[in-house]
Amino acid sequence: MAVPSYFTTGEKIAHYSLRVFVMLVLLFLISPIIAVMPLSFNSESFFTYPMPGYSLKWYEDFFFNDRWTGALRMSFFIAICTTILATFLGTLAALGLARTNFPAKSTIMAILISPMIVPVIISAVGMFKFYAQLDLASTLLGVILAHTALATPFVVITVTATLSAFDKTLMRAGASCGAPPHTVFFKVVMPLILPGMISGALFAFVTSFDEVVVVLFLASPEQRTLPLQMFSGIREMISPTITAAATVLVLFSTALLVTVELLRRRSEKLRGVQA
């Protein structure tokens, strides 16, 4: 973008210094991620530039060592179970809340999204103590339940947002054409709110997949997830495999969230909202 010709010298200086400042901030935002990725190809196990040589051995360790593959599998399993539960419960609740005249709507909404508000350490410690009394601590079920509680607010919020623009006359139109309620839901409502449901599901997945504080308290070595494996690795001595793991995770979460963004656009288009 060129500077307009009518700008004074002062304005030009302000304009260019703003641009330089913004570029530096953007560099600051992106640099840690960009700086760490090449280190994962380092042939030696230290973290400085220049690198003496290139190697894929840290990726080999990440993809073939049982400790890491086990953690990856565990993370996927927990995250998928969490996603299914959270999407189901969250979508139902959002559908209920979207109906008119819902009593004490804002209070119930506040309670439903409280897991997003309470500092995660309090949630982790509280659930740890309570689940331990129910013999749920250090079990797969305990971790999944805890993650589901943390993940549902995201589903509730995204589906509620999609429903807020949903034209309710479509449901009446469906009903007046003789469709029973479940047909109306699956043939009319569901296709329209599906983008919201999927992005809610992806948020739920990412929440569980990245979560470390709750598993730190609630999980035993048998439920060692990827973040837990990373966390326990870096506390003592950083293994370069962590840089490989970080790179894979960055690419993975980017792919997931690009999907969310595309879905959001599609949903806006479907609802006729001007982007």
Partner 1 sequence: MAMAQALPSDGVMRAADGTPLKVALARAERRERLKALGLVLPLFAFIVLSFLVPIFVMLYNAVYDPDVAENLPTTVVALQQWDGKDLPSEEVFAAFAADMKKAQESKMVALIGKRLNYEISGIRSKVIATGRKVGAIEAGPYKDAVIAIDKIWGEPETWATIKRSSSSYTPFYLLAMLDMRQGVDGSIEQVPADRAVYIDILKRTLGISLLVTFCTLILGYPVAYMLATTPQKTASILMIFVLLPFWTSLLVRTTAWMILMQDGGVFAQFMNVTGITWVMNLLGVMDGPPELFKTRFATVVAMTHIQLPFTLLPIYSVMKTISPTYMRAAKSLGGTPFYSFIRVYMPQTLPGVAAGCLLTFILCLGYYITPALVGGPTDQMVSGYIASAINTENNWGKASALGVILLIATLILYYVYNKLVGIDRMKLG
Considering only residues 128 to 147 of the shown chain, the ones binding partner 1 according to CB under 8 A are 128-131, 145-146
Out of 75, 82, 83, 148, point to the residue binding partner 1 (CB under 8 A). 148
Phi and psi of 89, rounded to 5°?
-65, -45
Q: Is 75 in the site for partner 1 (CB under 8 A)?
A: no
Query: Closest CB to partner 1 among 194 and 249?
Result: 249
- Min. distance of Cβ 198 from partner 1 in angstroms? 13
CB of 205 within 8 A of CB of 83? yes
What six digits make up the tokens of 266?
């599609």
Q: Which is nearer to partner 1, 32 or 191 (CB)?
A: 32
Here's the x/- map for partner 1, 12-51, by CB under 8 A: it reads as: --x---xx-xx--xx-xxx-xx-xx--x-------xxx--
Give yes or no for residue 262 binding partner 1 (CB under 8 A): no
Question: DSSP states of 211-244 as a string?
Answer: --HHHHHH--GGG--HHHHHHHHHHH---THHHH
Residue 64 beta carbon to partner 1: minimum distance, rounded to whole angstroms: 21
CB of 215 to partner 1, least distance (A): 11
Which of 140/212 has CB closer to partner 1?
212
- Considering CB under 8 A, how many residues would be counted as binding partner 1? 90
Choose, by CB under 8 A, the member of 57, 70, 231, 268 that binds partner 1.
231
Q: Does 160 bind partner 1 (CB under 8 A)?
A: yes
Site for partner 1 in 181-220 (CB under 8 A): 203, 206, 209-210, 212-213, 217
Contact with partner 1 (CB under 8 A): which of 3, 13, 111, 173? 111
**Binding of residue 3 to partner 1 (CB under 8 A):** no
Q: Nearest CA to 156 among 86, 103, 99?
A: 86
Residue with tokens 């749920």: 136
